[in-house]
Amino acid sequence: MLTERHLQIFVALAEEQHFGDAARVVGITQPPLSQGLRRLEALVGAKLFERGAGQVELTPAGAALLPYARRALSSIEELHQAAVEREPEGPEIRLGLAPEVPPSAGAAVAAACGEAIAGSRVTVATAPTSSLVNQVSTGRLTLAIVAHPTVLDGLEAGPVALLPTWLLLPAGTASGEVVGLRQLGELPVAVRPRTEAPAARDLFLDTLALHRPRGGTVVVTDERAGLAMAAAGQAAVVTADPLLGAPGVTRHRLVDDPLPLRLRLVWSRTRTPFLRPDDVMARLTEALVAS
């Protein structure tokens, strides 16, 4: 199916005549740009560019189709603008939350959206970071709170917010309000699947291994599953949720807080003209940190 991204790649390549420059204009890296061009040429059934040493030139078929692509992009932009301007009750803010986001933090940002953008209606969805980035890129979500670091695929992003975390342990594993990771012995640490946020998971695991060479990890579907394993004496849980807990589980601070939860807001500048990064997004990031 022909998409807006295909049209953006086509027009950018025609104007820049260079893969690297076109990728920067579209806001993606060069490999997905090349893949998008191949899909577009397959969809239209014609070769659109002659590829040279780092540069590209339009074929006759590409030159013939370029005006149509430009008009289509212009129509799509007008559609986005009209949807915002003609919405009688204000824009709909579709907020995505990564599963790691504490409920209080998600609620604070959702409330700040309604306060910062007059007349807006806020809806909330939860999905892994990798899915949230894709949904914001394609316009299915307005903005999202994602785990950091992650590949942003050309999206705008606010500053990284560091949320403190606690260690949830089976009762009797450790004593004292503050503990070190080495005190866990062979007890594994519960982690979510790497595919949900590969870069963020790798950073977590690397830091964990640095402070605790042995013990390993166990993969769980979510924090509730990790909490159940902690209650059963089978795992430790690192969480930023100040309210997560259960009988048989004790809460501790980690020495020097080596595993803070790193979060940031991401959005698309072109798809959300009612968001102003210097104003609205600053207020939303402040709400995230303050929560």
For the chain, residues with pLDDT lower than 50 are 277
* Residue recorded with tokens 């995505």: 96
How do residues 5-64 score in pLDDT, each as one tens digit?
888 888 888 888 888 888 877 778 888 888 888 888 888 888 999 887 667 889 999 899
Rounded CA-CA distance 222/97 in Å is 14
Rounded CA-CA distance 30/22 in Å is 8
Q: In sequence order, what are the beta bridge partners of 166? A: 239, 253
Topology of the domain covering 4-85: Arc Repressor Mutant, subunit A (1.10.10)
**pLDDT at residue 26, as a whole number:** 79
Task: Give the start-end residues of each E strand in the chain.
Answer: 49-51, 56-58, 92-97, 121-126, 143-147, 156-157, 161-163, 166-170, 178-179, 189-191, 217-219, 236-239, 249-254, 261-267
**pLDDT at residue 284, as a whole number:** 80
Rounded CA-CA distance 283/49 in Å is 44
Per-domain boundaries in the chain: 4-85, 92-161+262-290, 165-259
Assign domain 92-161+262-290 to its CATH architecture.
3-Layer(aba) Sandwich (3.40)
**pLDDT at residue 85, as a whole number:** 60
For residue 290, which phi and psi values (nearest 5 degrees)? Answer: -65, -25
Rounded CA-CA distance 224/237 in Å is 10
Quote the tokens at residue 127: 């999905």
How do residues 180-198 score in pLDDT, each as one tens digit?
998 898 999 999 999 999 9
Domains 92-161+262-290 and 165-259 share a fold: yes
Topology of the domain covering 165-259: D-Maltodextrin-Binding Protein; domain 2 (3.40.190)
For residue 194, which phi and psi values (nearest 5 degrees)? Answer: -60, -35
